[in-house]
Chain A
């Protein structure tokens, strides 16, 4: 799975591309954990190029959010496609994550 990575001021951005499911949830989890272990405490997951997410992908996001909550950090998501937004709505994940329309809006809110 191709996962973009960048640092925008104090915000660490991960951009998974394509599908986030059981085939690549572990590698995405490793990238999230590596960021947290480096001390990043403001994490933005940019979904702009993500087409699909399964339960395995949702669990990784949950794990990242829990770790950041415990360390006093923040996590946000942006640019959810309508189908992914529906998954988040039905699974109640919108009550956990702050979701922004795009990366610029997210960075402005997190900065």
Chain B
């Protein structure tokens, strides 16, 4: 089973050319942070309530995608809210992204290609080699969005993360998105770490909007 950070990376790549979809950097960082924290929660290492993220078991998971974050929670020795940990973990998003992509390449799901532009600037692309994992994630998402069935916790997480980084604009047509909006709004509230991710993303978006259009 893929980790959420891997699933998010698959959804963030353009199927045609393996480049990253144009989404705000902060949104992606928060989504990757949330992905790791949510995996730690489903692995019974952390728990959350409305105020706090609580360390349950500091024993390493053995997964290098998750353990650096778990180590920071253990080392902190203090109790903070989920949002604090989303923003703290977001500052390590580059490492999480690289680790997730490396694992997807290692497992034969993506290929890694480097292009040079003017012989100097490098850009990386990750064309899909085996599309089954991505199709399975998309089917899970659509299955929840197009039904009234109670979602399972993994489906809730992936919908929270997709919404936080705006992937639904890419996955659904404007008409489909309009129809699914109510369901997305219902499901994304069901995970408290997901709510913290969304709040962090919105706050930055709001401050950017204020900076672009200051109110005097």
Residues on A facing B (Cβ under 8 Å): 21-23, 52-56, 58-59, 62-63, 65-66, 69, 86-87, 90-93, 95-96
Contact = CB atoms under 8 A, between A and B. Distances in A.
A63 B186 CA distance: 17
A4 B91 CA distance: 45
B189 A54 contact: no
Nearest to B82: A55
7 contacts: A22-B54, A54-B48, A62-B151, A66-B150, A87-B50, A91-B189, A91-B190
A80 to B, nearest CB: 14
Contacts of A96: 150
B44 interface: yes
A31 B153 CA distance: 19
B95 to A, nearest CB: 25
A53 B187 CA distance: 19
Interface residues of B, number: 22
Contacts of A69: 149-150
Interface string B54-94: 10100000000000000000000000000000000000000
B52 to A, nearest CB: 9
B41 A55 contact: yes
Contacts of B193: 55
A86 B49 CA distance: 11
B150 A55 contact: no
Contacts of A91: 189-192, 195
B152 interface: yes
Given A66-B150, A91-B189, A91-B192, A55 B44 contact: no
A90 B198 CA distance: 14
